[in-house]
Structure 1
Amino acid sequence: MGTTSADDMLRHRISLLAIDQQTINSLARVAPFVETCLPGIIEDFYAHMQRFPEGRKIFSDPDRVRGLKQHQRAHWIRLFNAELDVEYVAESVRIGKAHHRAKVPPHLYIAGYNFFHSALLKRMATRYQNDPQLPLMCEAVTKIIGLETDLALSVYVRELWRHSIEPTRKAAG
């Protein structure tokens, strides 16, 4: 993917999700709090996933899970600091491909985003309950997690096409 096309794609996705300067400002306001919440949310996420057979299978190696937690934390910090550039897209695509190679089913990936999103909004509602900017901060969090989910699912669709649909079409054609 060339820089221009990745740049164009990112600008289009940001525009579609209405991630504007107000969103960026709200993210900047909430980012330090998000960073303090990440360790607890990430621990809770892996504990939650371990309750399910597919989670136990995927997250069975404790050393691997430790590394995943560190990478996940760094990625979320970058996201909430609105470092939305071509390098962010490349990293998101790399992460999506790794999940696809590890055979993480899309429903589990979506459940992970949902878990994180819900846990973060609950913590924000408690921390900022009397802050009139809470709705804008929640909206910003929803938009940025929407961007992340979009990029992840786009990787799944491309990989499915590349490995399943396209070869079938070529064989039939």
Structure 2
Amino acid sequence: MSQVDLTRRLALLGITPDDAKVIEPFRLKLYDAMDGIVFRFYRFLQSQPEGQRFFPDDNRINQLVPKQREHWRRLFNCEFDEAYIKGCQAIGHAHLVNGVAPYLYIAGYTFFLVELQNFAVMNFANPQELRTILAVVTRLVHLDMDLALSVYTREVVQLVAAKAAQGH
């Protein structure tokens, strides 16, 4: 992804450099709570038939929790550098090759978004501050989902183009 593409996506979602300052109080409080959110996420997945296929026991979950925690921390640091973009793309690719359907991916992001919104509501009483934090959290989560799911789109477009080139 080029810097122009990233800049365009940030603008479309309304993400600005000021968001890093706005989200800082949330981010600092979230660090201590992130492990709990991540563990609840994996427990939720294990409770679903689709998730049981990927997480039949805790071994894989225990490997993924630190990676998941670090990914969310990078997102809320609002440093959209090449490492972050490549990380999102690698995550999207890993989910694609492991057969995680887009609807499951969206369900996972929905789980996190609701958890993050609930965390904000429980930790920020000032209505204006809460509205601003909720807006930034929503934008950032959607950026992350966009970057990861774009891998699916790119792979499908490449498959269609390859089949077309073969005359199918």
TM-score tier, shorter chain, comes to over 0.9
Match for residue 20 of structure 2?
A: 24
Q: By how many angstroms is 1:73 displaced? A: 0.4
Query: Contact between 1:23 and 1:136, CA under 8 Å: does it hold in 2?
Result: no
Could you tell me which residue of structure 2 aligns to residue 6 of structure 1? 2
Give matches, 1:84-103, under 5 Å: 84-103=80-99
Q: Which range moved further: 124-133 or 65-74?
A: 124-133
Aligned to 2:115: 119
Q: Secondary structure at the match of 1:21?
A: coil
Mapped to 2, the partners of 1:18 and 1:67 lie a distance apart of 34
Could you tell me which of 22, 35, 56 is aligned with 2:52? 56
Contact 2:22–2:133 (8 Å) recurs in 1: yes
Structure 1 unpaired stretches of 5+: none
* Matched ranges for 1:18-167 at <5 A: 18-130=14-126, 132-162=128-158, 164-167=159-162
What secondary structure is seen at the aligned counterpart in 2 of 1:132? helix
- Tell me if the contact between 1:41 and 1:119 (Cα under 8 Å) persists in the aligned partners: yes
Give the direction of change, closer, same or farther, for the CA distance of 1:61–1:167 in structure 2 (3 Å limit).
farther
Counterpart of 1:170? 165
Q: Residues 113 and 149 of structure 1 are in contact (CA less than 8 Å); yes or no, is this contact kept in structure 2?
A: yes
Count how many residue pairs are aligned between Structure 1 and Structure 2. Answer: 168
The two structures, once aligned, show a CA RMSD in angstroms of 1.5
Instruction: Provide the rounded CA distance (Å) in 2 between the counterparts of 1:19 and 1:30.
Output: 16
Report how far residue 48 of structure 1 moved.
0.7
Q: CA shift at 1:8, angstroms?
A: 1.7
Which runs of at least 4 in structure 1 moved beyond 6 Å after TM superposition?
none
Alignment-mate amino acid for residue 125 of structure 1: V
Rate the CA distance shift 1:58–1:122 in 2: closer, same or farther, 3 A: same
SS of the equivalent of 1:13 reads: helix
Partners of 1:98 and 1:133 lie apart in 2 by 36
Q: Percent identity?
A: 34
TM-score, normalised via structure 2 length? 0.93
